[in-house]
Amino acid sequence: MEPLELVFWAAVGLLVYTHLGYPLLLLALSRLRRRDARLEVSPGAELPGVTLVVAAHDEETVIGRWVASALALDYPRDLLSVVVACDGCTDATADRARQAGADTVLELERGGKVAGLNAAVAGARTPVLAFADANSTWEPAALRLLIGALGREGVGYVCGQVRFVAPEGTANQEGLYWRYEMAVRELESELGGITAGNGAINAVRREAYVELEPTRGQDISFPFELAKRGWRSSYEPRALASEPMAPTIQGEFRRKRRMMAGAWNTILRTGLLSPRGYRPLYALEIYSHRLLRYATPILHLVALGANLALLGEGAVYTATLAAQLAFAAAALLGGVLPLRPLLVARYYAAVTAASAAGLWDLLRHGVPRTWESVEGTR
């Protein structure tokens, strides 16, 4: 086989492994391993104090609802401290948070989400810290379930499951992707531990908390940082939260592009790719789920370029190029024909392009500390 053919088939093989082979490998490994029993927190069990934090920037339309839902959790009120960290708010977020009953409202200069969370944690004295998004709503039992997961030996961080609420007729297929992602995450949780968390619903032991530099995100950083410190990160699918989905694929692209700039920053400029401190199974998860998943646009470009160069070397390369072009055509048609297969192709193309755009943004401008809400998600 010629070197160019090796390049082509390696790129194709890695793409297939990343999206299909890796989940199947996890499934096979999980069948060989005894599952840990899920821990329940009984109504009479002694519960730890929890500080529940949200970082908010100009969230006056939703912050009252969020505080109300936090106070309605099935958790003793005297053990729960609700904190709103206002990140340079220019509206009535702080006043409405106080009116809704938040225990602490911090009015901070604009520094970004992670800076706000760090400031809130600095004043916390509880053994457990929990974090949410301002537009998320937790189910009443969610916090108890997170606490139960933290009760497992060695678990320092746990995230729950978000169910996206989609407007009727939306073309955004984030819900389908997220169900796939959560299935993979549950398998990882049973094996080496999850490789990314969820900012909408998660909790961490106070002694395991890592104060991150403000350009980094907790979602992708906490699991691997804690793994290097001897902690395990887990996923509790029964701890449920709901959150509005971006109503358009354009809005989802903008959201993913911003997120991917931060993700690429973590991959390239921190110790995520260093195997030091990882157990072998967790290292496999990191390289499969993080590095290869985010490198998908690069692999697609390599496969396309090599395929073009191989035209005339056999009918198989004509067929593979036709398949790639057909997928691209399906993604374009998804913009005018709302058929599910076409919409899925369009979503995949959009999020793959968002990963490439996020890398480009990082290389040109670095990672922005601040964020703006995507229209329709509040």
23-39 tens-digit pLDDT = 999 999 998 876 655 55
Radius of gyration of the chain from its Cα atoms, rounded to whole angstroms = 22
Helix axes 340-365, 174-190, angle to 10 degrees: 70
User: Which runs of consecutive H residues, i.e. helices, occur in 237-314?
Assistant: 249-269, 280-285, 293-294, 296-309
Q: Which CATH class is domain 50-247?
A: alpha beta
Going across the sheet that includes 128-132, the strands are 104-108, 80-87, 50-56, 128-132, 201-205, 155-165, 232-244, 137-138
With bands split at pLDDT 50, 70 and 90, how would you rate the model's confidence at 377?
A: very low
Q: Closest Cα to residue 266, out of 209, 207, 189, 214?
A: 214
Sorted by sequence, the CB contacts under 8 Å of residue 140 that are 6+ apart come out as: 72, 73, 74
How confident is the model over 165-216, as pLDDT tens digits? 766 666 677 778 888 999 999 999 999 999 999 999 999 999 999 999 988 9
Q: Report the DSSP beta bridge partners of residue 240.
A: 161
Residue 195 contacts residue 289 (beta carbons within 8 Å):
yes
Task: Kindly provide the residue ranges of all beta strands, DSSP E only, lying in 103-223, ordered along the sequence.
Answer: 104-108, 128-132, 137-138, 155-165, 201-205
How confident is the model over 272-302, as pLDDT tens digits? 999 999 999 999 999 999 999 999 999 999 9
pTM value?
A: 0.89
Mean per-residue pLDDT over the chain, rounded = 91
